[in-house]
Structure 1
């Protein structure tokens, strides 16, 4: 079974307090669902029209595990704390 990666890029953050509350709750929810946060923060370097946006990279053992983590009640509770405080894009990508 191929590993999967949850990639989140933040276009903007309009409520840093909401983001902090979300981050405090989402980390444990993701870990409880089997996710491992590999990287988070601003890019060290960008290329080819890249944007200086916050990025989070989380590894899971499978696409199914990544989906289940996102859909879990614990993560959904964390997500409710963000409540429009950031505009972002989340993708789940299967390893090659």
Structure 2
């Protein structure tokens, strides 16, 4: 099942270190099957408020996502981002092909699908 590394960056001090990070990150993703599916860009807010950059990187599964984040290659560039940005980063699993919204009820106690 696909997994995603998601970054919600509220502040980025765009300078030489961020440029170096961006120039090097793609090579760290390749061995783990990672690819950008969202990388900043304008957000059209239709409910609530959102004022940040959103980045999503897809991996074949959670194991590859974890291995990428822990890899020596990514850890070598991580501080280039973390020293110059503020936000949250997390891993989340996707859902299988054909998944429907009602399927979540199967996972909830006392819910009926």
TM category (shorter chain) comes to 0.7 to 0.9
Alignment: residue pair count: 95
How many Å separate the matches in 2 of 1:39 and 1:31? Answer: 17
Large movers: runs of 4+ above 6 Å: none
How many Å separate the matches in 2 of 1:58 and 1:4? Answer: 8
State the partner residue of 1:94.
93
User: Cα RMSD over matched residues?
Assistant: 1.6
State the partner residue of 1:40.
39
Q: Show structure 2 runs of 5+ residues with no match.
A: 96-113
How many Å separate the matches in 2 of 1:46 and 1:16? Answer: 27
* Structure with a larger share of its residues in strand: 1
Q: Show structure 1 runs of 5+ residues with no match.
A: none
Identify which of structures 1 and 2 has the higher relative contact order when contacts are C-alpha pairs closer than 8 Å and 6+ apart. 1
The two structures have a TM-score, normalised by structure 1, of 0.85
State the partner residue of 1:6.
5
Deviations 1:56-78 (A, max 9, x none): 11111111110100000000111
Cα deviation, residue 43, structure 1: 3.4
Larger Rg: 2
